[in-house]
């Protein structure tokens, strides 16, 4: 069944995929993902904290790299889901409302089949909005 309009609202830690058939109909949630690893300290995700040695802190780069790897993995997960939907012709149009810089991470992983369905791209973090408020903001602010 061909969907009218899909809207991905995401940041590096949380993403929700919505469907809207028309501007007057309510949003329907299709999927919900969480990425708690992006907010965890290095010591919680690795046996030994990256960037530390027995002599003390060696720098910030390894911890930053670990967070980037978690963001990248999450972006790949979302991109795979969108690709399957695009190849299965389950979405007609896709709007991305994704926080910055995660929008860039996600965009790097989107393939041509998904990119041709993208009708709007906004660097906003609206993941905390309730569905009713999100629907209103999408209509009034973004005309989606």
- For residue 144, CA distances in Å to 21, 28, 52, 60, 119 come to 11, 14, 47, 40, 10
The pLDDT of residue 125 is above 70:
yes
Taking only the tens place, the pLDDT of each residue in 18-53 is 999 888 889 999 999 999 887 665 545 454 444 444
According to the model, what pLDDT value does residue 21 have? 87
Q: Does the domain formed by 6-142 have CATH 3.30.420.60?
A: yes
């Amino acid at each position: 069944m061909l969907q009218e309009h899909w809207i991905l609202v995401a940041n590096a830690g949380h993403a929700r995929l919505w469907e809207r058939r028309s501007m007057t109909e309510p949003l329907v949630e299709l999927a919900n993902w969480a990425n708690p690893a992006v907010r965890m300290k290095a010591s919680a995700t690795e046996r030994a904290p990256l960037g530390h040695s027995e002599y003390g802190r060696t720098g910030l780069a390894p911890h930053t790299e670990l967070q980037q790897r978690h963001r990248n993995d999450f972006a790949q997960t979302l991109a795979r889901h969108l690709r399957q939907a695009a190849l299965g012709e389950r979405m007609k149009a896709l709007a991305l409302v994704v926080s910055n810089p995660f929008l860039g991470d996600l965009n790097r992983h989107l393939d041509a089949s998904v990119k041709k369905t993208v009708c709007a791209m906004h660097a906003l973090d609206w993941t905390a909005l309730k569905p009713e408020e999100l629907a209103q903001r999408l209509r009034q602010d973004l005309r989606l």
